[in-house]
Amino acid sequence: MKTLVDEFADIKIMRFEVPGWDGLTMRQKAYAYHLAEAAKLGRDMTWDQYCEWNLKIRHVVEDILEKYEGDRERQEFSAFLIYAKRLFFSSGFHHHYAEDKFFPDCPKDYFRSLMEASGDGKVADELLEVIYSPDICPRRRSDSTEGDIVALSSVNFYEGVSRSEVEDYYASVEEPDDSRPVAHGLNTKIVKENGKVIEKPWRSGGLYGAAIDRVVEELLKAAELAENETQKAAIELLVEYYRTGNLKLWDEFNVAWVGETGGTVDFINGFIEDYDDPLGRKATWEGYVHIKDHEASMRTEVLSSNAQWFEDHSPVDPRFRKPHVKGVSAKVVTAVALGGATYPTTPIGINLPNAEWIRKEYGSKSVTISNITKAYDKAALEAPRSALEEFAFDQAEIDAYKKYGSHDDEIHTDLHECLGHGSGQLLPGVSPNALGEYQSTLEEARADLFGLYYIADPKLVELGIMPDDEAWKPAYSSYIRNGLFTQFSRIELGKKITEAHMRNRKLIAQWCYEKGSADNVIEKKVRDGKTYFVVNDFQKLRGLFATLLAEVQRIKSEGDYEAGKSLVEGYGVEIDPELHREVRERYQALGLKPYGGFVNPEIVPVVKQGEVVDYEIVPVADYLAQQLEYGKKYRTL
Between CA 286 and CA 339 the distance in angstroms is 6
Three-state secondary-structure class, residue 248:
helix
pLDDT for 62-72, tens place per residue? 999 999 999 99
Residue 319 phi/psi, 5° resolution?
-65, -25
- Final residue belonging to a domain, choices 183, 201, 219: 201
Query: Same structural domain for residues 64 and 166?
Result: no
pLDDT at 365: 93
Question: What pLDDT digit, counting tens, does each position of 285-315 carry?
Answer: 999 999 999 888 888 889 989 999 999 999 9
Residue 7 lies in a domain: no
Residue 560 has pLDDT above 90, yes or no: yes
Is residue 269 in a domain?
no
End position of a domain, from candidates 169, 184, 201: 201
On whether both 470 and 494 belong to a single domain, the answer is: yes
pLDDT at 152: 96
125-130 average pLDDT score: 98
pLDDT tens, residue by residue, 232-290: 999 999 999 999 999 999 999 999 999 999 999 999 999 999 999 999 999 999 999 99
Same domain, 364 and 471: yes
Write out the DSSP string of 101-127: B---SS-HHHHHHHHHHTT-GGGHHHH
Query: Do 177 and 82 share a domain, yes or no?
Result: no
Q: Tell me, what's the pLDDT at 383?
A: 84
Q: Of 52-66, 412-426, 437-451, which range is least confident?
A: 412-426
> What is the pLDDT at residue 552?
98
Contact 150, 166 (CB under 8 A): yes
The confidence score (pLDDT) of residue 45 equals 98
Average predicted confidence (pLDDT) for the chain: 95
pLDDT digits (tens, 9 = 90+) for 148-204: 999 999 999 999 999 999 999 999 999 888 999 999 999 999 999 999 999 999 999
Residue 56 lies in a domain: yes
- Flag whether pLDDT at 529 surpasses 90: yes
DSSP letter (8 states) at residue 488:
G
User: pLDDT > 90: what percent of the chain?
Assistant: 91
Q: 519 lies in which domain range?
A: 293-595
Q: What is the pLDDT of residues 20-47, one digit of tens each?
A: 999 999 999 999 999 999 999 999 999 9
Mean pLDDT of 343-347: 96
Identify the band that residue 426 occupies on the pLDDT scale cut at 50, 70 and 90: very high
Number of domains in the chain: 3
Query: In terms of domains, do 120 and 190 share one?
Result: no
pLDDT at 177 (0 to 100): 85
Let me know whether 493 and 573 are in one domain: yes
Q: Output Rg (C-alpha) for the chain, integer angstroms.
A: 24
Q: For residue 337, tell me if it sits in a domain.
A: yes
Residues 529 and 422 in one domain: yes
In a domain, 498, yes or no: yes
- Reported as a pLDDT band with limits 50, 70 and 90, residue 120 is very high
pLDDT grade for 619, boundaries at 50, 70 and 90: very high
Do 342 and 379 fall within a single domain? Answer: yes
Cβ proximity of 293 and 370 under 8 Å? yes
Same structural domain, 99 and 169: no
Question: Do 176 and 307 sit in the same domain of this protein?
Answer: no
Inter-axis angle of helices 473-484 and 538-558, nearest 10: 60
Provide the pLDDT for residue 330: 87
Q: Is residue 624 part of a domain?
A: no
Question: What's residue 329's pLDDT?
Answer: 86
Domain-ending residue, one of 117, 139, 161 = 139
Per-residue pLDDT, 354: 94
The pLDDT value given to residue 327: 76
pLDDT given at position 384 = 80
Q: What is the pLDDT of residue 342?
A: 97
What average pLDDT does this structure show over 321-329? 88
CA distance 402 to 404: 6
Tell me which DSSP letter residue 254 carries: H
In-domain check, residue 537: yes
Q: What is the dihedral of CA 309, 310, 313, 319, to 10 degrees?
A: -100
Q: How confident is the model at residue 145 (pLDDT cuts 50, 70, 90)?
A: confident
Statement to judge: residues 424 and 504 lie in one domain: yes
* Main-chain dihedrals φ then ψ at residue 444, nearest 5 degrees: -65, -35
Judgement on whether residues 92 and 190 belong to the same structural domain of the protein: no
Domain membership flag for residue 559: yes
- The set of long-range contacts for 538-543, using a CB threshold of 8 Å and a minimum separation of 24, is 538/456, 538/473, 538/476, 540/516, 541/476, 541/480, 541/512, 541/516, 542/452, 542/453, 542/456, 542/476
